[in-house]
Amino acid sequence: MKYGMKTLVLSVAMLVGLCGGTCLGGITSGQMAPVFSLQDVSGTHYDLTEMKDKPMIVLYFFDAQSRPSQEGLMSLDQLAKRYADADLRVWGITLSTKSQVKAFVDRAHPGFPVLMDHGGVSDLYEARLITPTVCVVGPGLMIMDYFQGGGKTTEIMLVRLAERTLQRKQTMLAKAISDEVVKKNPDNVKARTVKAYAALKDGDLDEAEKSFKALSKKPGKGEVLGKEGLAAVYAKKGKTQKALTLALEVEQKAPERAYVHVVKGDLLFSQNKKKEAEAEYKKAVQKQSAEPFQKALAYNKLGRFNASIGKYKKARELYDQAVELDPYYIEATSNKGMTYEKEGRWSDALQAYRKALTLNKNDTFAAVLARKAEEMLAVQKDIAQKKRIDKLVKDLAARYRKQKKSDKLPQDTWTSRPMVMTFVDFQEKGGLAERDGFSTVLTTELSEKLNATGRVKAVERVIVERLLEELNLGSSELADPETALRLGQVLAAKLIGTGTLFFLPDGTLLSMRLIDTETSAIPKVVTRHFDTQASLEKEIATLNRELLKAIVEKYPLQGFVVQATGNKVMINLGSRQGVVLGTRFEVIEEQEPIKYKGRLLRGAPKAIGAIEVVRVEPDLSYARVLNQDRPFKTDDKVREKLADLVAMETLHGAP
């Protein structure tokens, strides 16, 4: 009888190992994980419900006295300790006695909690008879993977975990887990594939190319996966023909593979062959053979295509399918929010962005878009503010149609007016970006950062968007410099920022120009490449500093001395014009012109002293005298003293 039971258990374990961690009995991928609360040997409670907002937790059921049962667990422990930033959470759960658990903890010193189970939790997870049993729980406590048995099943589990880690963009940990598997089994094609894709996602194209080439030399599945990956590498390197040739080879050798059609679709879209691109994306979602993250990408790209032509409902269905395949696919989740945003469904958009932030609270796209959605919802709820904006937009639209400027030129041409600036959405060209909303994120972030300096006032984003909607102006119309200029004049903006975003295989190229709405001059042109691996937050902060520097250098604050008494000076510039505490001004004196051969030659104004602002009010400031060649008097001119860039950033609070 005992022999029969043992044979049965071994048979079940072999079956699970062969199915690669799909399910056993009532535990299936996609269902909610049974919740529980257990204690470790020191009496500390661990409640699974408290993990619902965590991206991933590995529940590892093991025997504290069995080394084979602990093999995978100790591998995970070493990785978790080595890559602490990757936030690999593991809970060991065991039916072993307290003394056995204590002995294990004292011997192994694990970095994870070891929880003592009296049978209930192991029964819930069907882990009483077979150890190890591993359950990978994802966002919202959803079961993603389930494995039982050691040996080969442990290897399968680690590869799947490497894939999940890659989906979370924890590329270093994904490489490390893959390496762990390859050390023990150099012929594990899937582990080597994950490692190569981790290099690709990291932007290390040479390393990815090397890894995929080595893989492509292995017969059978290795050759297919290697050439498939190489096609993606060459597409990112801009070697279009090489990429297409390899994609065709994969199609012929493995016609059921999906990913090469995504690669082809991207290349065709960048060539403006949009119908052909759509056909390739459709093939990608129809074919079944692909890694989960590859298939998710296919659904996302087809969703992006549908969203680009206004089919938002269809796009959302495709984004949902992408997330079902890859719960960590934050791009598809925020893309779904963008479809709601374009329909004016701000509450639904905010819900999508917040869901994306639960996967990564530091995601710049989701964070900026969520703030914008919150502002739009606040406007909708504030009746008085909504009426004010509605009226203002109607007036501005009428002025635009009549080509009437919102302000008359001032009689005082020396004193600086408030430096008002506005951005309009940039025209998008090139390939089909994996993520929607780059233009919105860029202009929103720049507006907020420039506003925060106190030196520049950016027009409220809601007003700009409502005006564009009222005038029915899209990015193609705004690409016309004359249209952008007229819009800036109507908004009483001294400067308008506009340009183009070119989506390339290796990132995004920004071409931005600032236009002076009074003179039509272009005081600043910016060309910047946003690498796919770079921190978008840091890149935008750097761009903000560059713009601020250009504005201060081109448009220094100018004004007059109103009163001067001893060491104190009042000037006719305040916070509305961009003065902040610590701003320094030169007091200047115009020089008498020199008559030479019938012409009057004017020299540059002479600096006769300097002042530093110590108190700021809306329309005036008080300053202390730093130095003076003569006593200052009413109507002396003042001009902002241009410090070096570092001092200027500190002065204006630039990030």
Residue 14 has pLDDT above 50, yes or no: no
383-554: what CATH class?
Answer: alpha beta
Closest alpha carbon to 122 in 59, 206, 31, 211? 59
Q: Element (H or E) spanning 196, and its range? A: helix 189-202
Banded model confidence at residue 17, pLDDT cuts 50, 70, 90:
very low
- Which residues pair with residue 569 across a beta bridge? 564, 623
CB 396 within 8 A of CB 467: yes
Rounded Cα–Cα distance for residues 119 and 95 (Å)? 6
- Please give the pLDDT value at position 374: 94
The domain 1-184 belongs to what CATH superfamily?
Glutaredoxin (3.40.30.10)
Please state the φ and ψ torsions of residue 599, each to the nearest 5 degrees: -120, 150
Q: Which two tokens stand for residue 310?
A: 């206004």
CA atoms within 13 A on the CB side of 323: 21
Residue 359 has a CB neighbour count (10 Å cut-off) of 23
CB 161 within 8 A of CB 185: no
Percent of the residues in the chain that have a pLDDT greater than 90, as a whole number: 66
Closest alpha carbon to 428 in 414, 411, 441? 441
Angle 256-260-265 from CA coordinates, rounded to 5°: 120
Helical axes 461-471 vs 438-453, angle rounded to 10°: 140
Please state the φ and ψ torsions of residue 638, each to the nearest 5 degrees: -125, 145
Output the CA torsion 339→344→350→355 (10° steps).
-20
Selection from 471-475, 557-561, 576-580, 603-607 with the highest mean pLDDT:
557-561
Percent of the residues in the chain that have a pLDDT greater than 70, as a whole number: 92
Angle 92-98-102 from CA coordinates, rounded to 5°: 70
Banded model confidence at residue 471, pLDDT cuts 50, 70, 90:
confident
Angle 185-190-193 from CA coordinates, rounded to 5°: 110
CB 122 within 8 A of CB 95: yes
Helical axes 346-359 vs 330-342, angle rounded to 10°: 170
Q: Which two tokens stand for residue 65?
A: 């006295």
- Please give the pLDDT value at position 646: 41
CB 286 within 8 A of CB 274: no
Rounded Cα–Cα distance for residues 255 and 240 (Å)? 21
Q: Does residue 432 or residue 604 have the better pLDDT?
A: 432
- Which of 49-58, 219-228, 455-464, 562-571 is least confident? 455-464
Please write the tens of the pLDDT for every residue from 591-633: 888 888 878 887 788 999 999 999 999 999 999 999 999 999 9
- Please give the pLDDT value at position 289: 93
Banded model confidence at residue 136, pLDDT cuts 50, 70, 90:
very high
Identify residue 597 by its one-letter amino acid code: K
- Please give the pLDDT value at position 2: 37
Please write the tens of the pLDDT for every residue from 225-237: 999 999 999 999 9
Burial classification of residue 541, based on how many CB atoms lie within 10 Å of its CB (0-12 exposed, 13-18 middle, 19 or more buried): middle
Query: Could you tell me the pTM of the whole model?
Result: 0.84
Helical axes 438-453 vs 364-381, angle rounded to 10°: 80
- Domain 558-652 fold: Thrombin, subunit H (2.40.10)
Mean residue pLDDT across the chain: 88
Residue 279 has pLDDT above 70, yes or no: yes
Q: Which two tokens stand for residue 552?
A: 């201060």
CB 586 within 8 A of CB 609: yes
Q: Which two tokens stand for residue 486?
A: 């007229």
Average pLDDT over residues 141-155: 92
Rounded Cα–Cα distance for residues 128 and 126 (Å)? 6
Which residue is listed with tokens 């032509």? 309
CB 489 within 8 A of CB 414: no
Please write the tens of the pLDDT for every residue from 87-115: 889 999 999 999 999 999 999 999 999 99
- Residue 531's SS3 state is strand
Contacts 24+ apart (CB under 8 A), 125-131: 125/27, 125/34, 125/59, 125/61, 126/24, 126/25, 126/26, 126/27, 127/61, 127/93, 128/95, 129/9, 129/12, 130/9, 130/12, 130/13, 130/16, 131/61, 131/62, 131/63, 131/66, 131/69
Please state the φ and ψ torsions of residue 213, each to the nearest 5 degrees: -65, -45
Residue 370 has pLDDT above 50, yes or no: yes
Closest alpha carbon to 353 in 342, 607, 364, 343? 364
Helical axes 292-308 vs 152-167, angle rounded to 10°: 30
Please write the tens of the pLDDT for every residue from 176-199: 999 999 999 999 999 999 999 999
Q: Does residue 397 or residue 61 have the better pLDDT?
A: 61
Rounded Cα–Cα distance for residues 146 and 133 (Å)? 8
CB 439 within 8 A of CB 425: yes
Give the CA distances from residue 242 to residues 235, 268, 308, 378, in Å, rounded to whole numbers and listed in that order. Answer: 8, 14, 28, 51
Residue 407 has pLDDT above 60, yes or no: no
Q: Which two tokens stand for residue 417?
A: 């007016």
Average pLDDT over residues 258-285: 96
Q: Does residue 111 or residue 483 have the better pLDDT?
A: 111
Closest alpha carbon to 162 in 132, 136, 130? 136
Residue 515 has pLDDT above 80, yes or no: yes
Residue 389 has pLDDT above 90, yes or no: no
Rounded Cα–Cα distance for residues 576 and 590 (Å)? 26
Residue 518 has pLDDT above 90, yes or no: no
- Please give the pLDDT value at position 404: 54
Rounded Cα–Cα distance for residues 528 and 426 (Å)? 14
Output the CA torsion 68→73→79→83 (10° steps).
-170
Residue 408 has pLDDT above 80, yes or no: no
Selection from 6-10, 404-408, 469-473 with the highest mean pLDDT:
469-473
Domain boundaries, the chain: 1-184, 383-554, 558-652
Please write the tens of the pLDDT for every residue from 289-334: 999 999 999 999 999 999 999 999 999 999 999 999 999 999 999 9
Residue 149 has pLDDT above 80, yes or no: yes
